[in-house]
Amino acid sequence: MPAILGGCAAPDAEIHLAPIFSRHTVPGYDHAEAAGGILRYGEQAGAVTWALSPFYWRLRRPDDSVDSDFFYPLGRYIHDPARPRTFARLFPLFWRDAETRADGVEDRDWSVLTPFFWGGSSSDGKENYFAFFPVFGTVKNFLTYDEATFVLFPLYLRNRKDERTSNHILWPIVGWTGGSERGWHVFPFYGRAEVPGKYRRSYVLWPIVHVAHDELDSKEPQQGWMVLPLGGRIRKGDYRATTVLWPFFGYAARPSTDFVSWQVWPILKFERGGTESRQTIRRFLPFYMRFEDEQTEFTVWMWPLFWDRTDHFGDITRESFYAMPVYWRSRTLRADGREERRERLWPVARVYEDNQGNERFAALAPGIEPILNSEQLSRNLGFAFEVWAGSSDAVSGVTQRRAFLNLYHTAQAAGHTRWSVPILGGQWTEPDGTVHTSLLLGLLRFRSGPGGGLEEPAFPGPGWPDLHVQDLPPAPQVAAQP
């Protein structure tokens, strides 16, 4: 026993006793974890992360911005000093969002026991409000409205959007609108709305009868009517559209632009021509569908299983392929040659590489965007199901890989490579080629290269020195041109 105690590793040395405790370092990288990854601490590229999963996870970046999850998936905290903005949420108990807008106004919004208590304030006094739903109150910027006021909702509701104000009694049954739009309704029996010179719309026995006169300020006003489910008609210049037994049968044409469209919903649809939004559609569901316009083209086989899609956004092109719901890949290309890549075989594995050269991957990967965010799921519960995971950082040059419960770990940076497994041991290769080997809880250690031979025991192994504070090589500089 005295011999073993005399050969213990230094307090800051590398230790690998997973799943109990482990610490790994290479230049620019420090990772420690306990209890199979439930408790974690890490430093990389100037960012500091620590977690007590699934109760708390926190990332602090060099610019002092903070991302945090707590009581996942209920709690979330974000602090962005550049905006500046701070957001906190613990659903359904509360949320709070505070930011300084571009015009310098400080704006704060909050809710307690959502959806019952809402409130907010702003430094200019224009966004002050409070609401106790459904008893009384006012809310700002809610859904599509600038402001909504209610008393014993749905007994009374008033909402405002731009210069239009609507009042409702027993919402949505009785209502009237004033300001830029005028109208009234007794739902579902009759309703009408009008913006003089722009449109007139009305309905009878909603949703059965609809009549609309739109774009009255244009050279070619549009007129239309619909009697559900019998049919309807739209006219605009030489454009005509007719539907019979909506939505099953439809036909539209505009001779001046060679536009033709017809469908037997949902099985068949064919469309071509047009000038404002020139597109081509061919649909024979579930076997085949093809869509093309100036920005997007996609082909579907055995809808909704197989999709091949290309999108153009200015100087950016995105190519995607889906085999729903198990496989998905996409590649985003930029004019400057940078590329972003995503690939997923659900729920087996996922890979993401951004246009800066950073890479992250994991297996297993049960997340499904946008329902279940993969990154949040991984950082809070990944320790319990990821059998293999890792990342590569283009800024620090750090590459790391981890097996389930950290039963294998490897890290590389600045010419150093380290790998190890608990009890059995591992190896550390230095930039000059020297290889350090540690076996059997660090009790047998030796090195190759200049000065090779046995090294002192460092129980519980591997006992290599802390490298994370070692200086990284400087970033490459572009030489000045004469």
Provide the pLDDT for residue 480.
31
One pLDDT digit (tens) per residue for the chain, 482 residues:
444 445 676 777 999 999 999 999 999 999 999 999 999 999 998 899 999 999 999 999 999 999 999 999 999 999 999 999 999 999 999 999 999 998 899 999 999 999 999 999 999 988 999 999 999 999 998 889 999 999 999 999 999 999 999 999 999 999 999 999 999 999 999 999 999 999 999 999 999 999 999 999 999 999 999 999 999 999 999 999 999 999 999 999 999 999 999 999 999 999 998 776 678 999 999 999 999 988 999 999 999 999 999 999 999 999 999 999 999 999 999 999 899 999 999 999 999 999 999 999 999 999 998 889 999 999 999 999 999 999 999 988 999 999 999 999 999 999 999 999 999 999 999 999 999 999 999 999 999 987 889 999 999 989 999 998 865 444 333 333 32
Q: Give the residue among 78, 76, 30, 36 at the shortest CA–CA distance from 56.
A: 76
Q: Which two tokens stand for residue 70?
A: 């707590």
DSSP 137-183: EEEEEETTEEEEEEETTTTEEEEEETTEEEEEETTTTEEEEEESSEE
How far out from the chain centre does Cα 149 lie?
A: 32
Domains: count for the chain: 1
Q: Is residue 353 part of a domain?
A: yes
Q: Output the pLDDT for position 289.
A: 96
Give 436: exposed, middle or buried? Use CB within 10 Å, 0-12, 13-18, 19+. buried
**Residue 19 maps to a domain:** no
User: Which residues span the domain enclosing 68?
Assistant: 52-436
First-last CA distance in the chain:
68
Residue 268 belongs to a domain: yes
Output the pLDDT for position 396: 87
Residue 410, CA atoms < 13 Å, CB-side half-sphere: 13
Q: Is residue 249 part of a domain?
A: yes
In a domain, 275, yes or no: yes
Return the structure tokens found at 401: 């890989």
Residue 160 falls inside a structural domain: yes
The verdict on residue 462 lying in a domain is no
Q: Cis link prior to 11 (omega < 30° from 0)?
A: no
Whether the CB-CB separation of 84 and 64 falls below 8 Å is answered with no
User: Sign of dihedral through CA atoms 168, 171, 174, 180?
Assistant: positive
d(C-alpha 449, C-alpha 363), whole Å = 37
Q: What was the pLDDT predicted at 477?
A: 35
Say if 20 falls within a structural domain: no
Peptide bond into 92 cis (omega under 30): yes
Q: What pTM does this model have? A: 0.83
Helix (H) or strand (E) holding 3: helix 2-6
